[in-house]
Amino acid sequence: TLTAPAPFADETSCQCQAPHEKLTIAQARRGTPVDRPVRVYADGIFDLFHAGHARALMQAKTLFPNSYLLVGVCSDDLTHKFKGFTVMSETERYEALRHCRYVDEVIRDAPWTLTPEFLEKHKIDFVAHDDIPYSSAGSDDVYKHIKEAGMFVPTQRTEGISTSDIITRIVRDYDVYARRNLQRGYTAKELNVSFISEKKYRFQNQVDKMKEKVKNVEEKSKEFVYKVEEKSHDLIQKWEEKSREFIGNFLELFGPDGAWKQMFQERSGRMLQAFSPRQSPNSSPTRGRSPSRSPSPPWVINKTSPPSSPKAASASLSSMSEGDEDEK
């Protein structure tokens, strides 16, 4: 488990215990010598340390079963002379390499062109770098003599990422980054922008803030409308359920065969029976009447059936007289 950054070469001694013997690539791939790791060297500027750098160092570290990776980093003076201005200082670049998990040792102020004396001093077995000819310092390929000595091991470049690509993005989107840093508290002097540019950037920041607020309001409005629609749908669904239940209860109560009609018919029948009770039949004999009821007096004429002729009247009078005789 790694618990500390990689050491600097000038602060530690070489870890090789056996005499440094020249190895072939085939021997190194077999894992020999067993008494020490294969010492692999990789160098570069490593400005704006990124994933492409890390992948190259990973390949250099895993070239052989047992390897010790030394990384040389060129100083600012040497880099500005042969390549150009850097974004990060040499101290920052040294520290970035020390915290890469594949690096075992960092060599500060590394030479631009590798010399036999440098290789012997650090007991380097192989040099790892991509196989593209690196023209610099008046040479078509600074690794030509390393390749001829059989000490060069190629690595693969990572496409789509490089220090130049990152710098190109920053230059292309300079206004965006300038506005961002102004918003974070940097001054126009620190960003090397004019007074007019500063005001323009600050105005653009205010416009962006307003746009963001409008966008948030629109999103909240959409969310509110969605919630209202959802609640409206629930209310309509509940209203439909309740309306069906209400209509069913209404029909059950007031429909053609409803309970209200049956109850009304029953009450109507009772009321009719109360107002027009049943009468006793006229053909029942007088003798069968209750003794408490007194007979009708002879002079009371039945109004319901008046005599239709004098003969009928005389007949009724005779029947009445006969009835009187019977009662006597």
Tens of pLDDT, residues 100-133:
999 999 999 999 999 999 999 999 999 999 998 8
The confidence score (pLDDT) of residue 249 equals: 75
When pLDDT is cut at 50, 70 and 90, the band that residue 51 belongs to is: very high
- Intra-chain end-to-end CA distance of the chain, in Å: 147
User: Is 70's pLDDT higher than 90?
Assistant: yes
When pLDDT is cut at 50, 70 and 90, the band that residue 296 belongs to is: low
3-state secondary structure of 38: strand
Least confident of 209-213, 234-238, 267-271: 267-271
For the full predicted model, state whether its pTM sits above 0.75. Answer: no
The confidence score (pLDDT) of residue 56 equals: 96
Question: What's the whole-number mean pLDDT along residues 279-291?
Answer: 52
Residues 6+ apart with CB under 8 A from 29: 64, 65
For 127, list phi and psi in degrees, rounded to 5. Answer: -115, 130
Least confident of 88-97, 110-119, 150-159, 238-247: 238-247
Q: Please, what CATH class does the domain formed by 25-155 belong to?
A: alpha beta
3-state secondary structure of 42: strand
User: Is 300's pLDDT higher than 50?
Assistant: no
Beta bridge partners of residue 68, listed in sequence order:
39
Rounded CA separation 127/119 (Å): 9
Comparing 276 with 222, the larger pLDDT belongs to 222
Other beta carbons within 10 Å of 259: 11
User: Crossing angle, helix 174-183 and helix 163-172, to 10 degrees?
Assistant: 80
Rounded CA separation 114/122 (Å): 11
For residue 111, whether the previous peptide bond is cis, meaning omega lies within 30 degrees of 0, is no
User: Is 168's pLDDT higher than 50?
Assistant: yes
Domain ranges for the chain: 25-155, 163-262
Beta bridge partners of residue 152, listed in sequence order:
127
Beta bridge partners of residue 7, listed in sequence order:
none
**Residue 68 near residue 37, CB atoms below 8 Å:** yes
